[in-house]
Amino acid sequence: MRWLAAILAALSIGFTVGTARAETLIAAMSSHQIQITSNYTGSQLTVFGLVERDGRTVARGDPYDIIVTVRGPKRMLLVREKERLGPIWINRTQRRFPDNPVFLHVASNRPIAEMMSNETAQRDRIGLVNAERPSGSWVDLDPGARRFRESLVRIMQGKDLYGYEERGVTFLSNALFSAPVDIPATAPTGSYTVDIVLYSGGVPLARQQTNFEVIKTGIEQRLALGAYDWALLYGLVTVLLALFLGWGASVIFRRD
């Protein structure tokens, strides 16, 4: 029995050492809240991180790579493909993307193509096109799915809601890094998640997640709450105000 207990203890210690992580990530943000006011034109947050390495491990041959992915509130997005029919354009086909983030930002310390293969990026859902692929499947069974997904990314990039910075992460030292994140004025309110992944040689070593939120403050928040809580009264007041302003403008600029 003593020998059995000793063997079990040795196996337990060996399993613990074998599963211990050589690297861990510690991440923080410069602010966890963005307040939208009447003069809001956008903001910028900074993600700070530290790579902690077990001193007993041997140094890796490949350098560290960091990929930061920021996802905003999720909505159902619709992409339509138009076809020209004579002098007019008509909607031919469409594709729905349920629970897709309205805001998506990816930053890395070097181009993703230099970190890993395209197959690895698809499997790990890395990059703008791959970030919202269905989990558990990295092969497109529908040939048109990737085309519509790329169109969605292009449309959202035109609205400054999607973006990729291939050198958006800066290593301040061998272990300390930072990544600025620009939040445009068109970014929706809600909760945002920040996913930080540490790679080396195309292999994920550690992951950390944090979050922040974009909220309205002041009169903007009160008006938004009023529009939802008292929709009928809000609509009536809006119509009366428009009529009053129209009447006032006609009186002021009336020609006698």
b/e sequence 164-199, b meaning 16+ C-beta within 10 Å? bbeebbebeeeeebbbebebeeebebeebebbbbbb
233 burial class (0-12, 13-18, 19+ CB within 10 angstroms)?
exposed
Q: Check residue 231 and give its pLDDT.
A: 77
- Helical (H) or strand (E) element with 236: helix 231-252
Q: pLDDT confidence of 252, banded at 50, 70, 90? A: confident
Cα–Cα nearest to 155, from 245, 98, 79, 229:
79
Q: Check residue 15 and give its pLDDT.
A: 39
Percent of the chain with pLDDT over 90: 39
Measured CA to CA, the distance from residue 195 to residue 218 in angstroms comes to 30
Q: pLDDT confidence of 91, banded at 50, 70, 90? A: confident
Q: Check residue 5 and give its pLDDT.
A: 44
Kindly compute the dihedral angle of the four CA atoms of residues 157, 160, 162, 164, in this order, to the nearest 10 degrees: 90
211: pLDDT strictly greater than 90: yes
Measured CA to CA, the distance from residue 173 to residue 180 in angstroms comes to 16
Length of the chain equals 256
Q: Check residue 23 and give its pLDDT.
A: 85
Averaged pLDDT for residues 158-162? 94
* Greater pLDDT, 82 or 180: 180
- The 8-class DSSP code of residue 215 comes to E
Domains of the chain: 23-216 (2.60.40.1930), 218-250 (no CATH)
Q: pLDDT confidence of 217, banded at 50, 70, 90? A: confident
Measured CA to CA, the distance from residue 120 to residue 18 in angstroms comes to 25
Averaged pLDDT for residues 246-251? 78
- pTM value? 0.74
Q: The tokens of 102 are what?
A: 């309205």
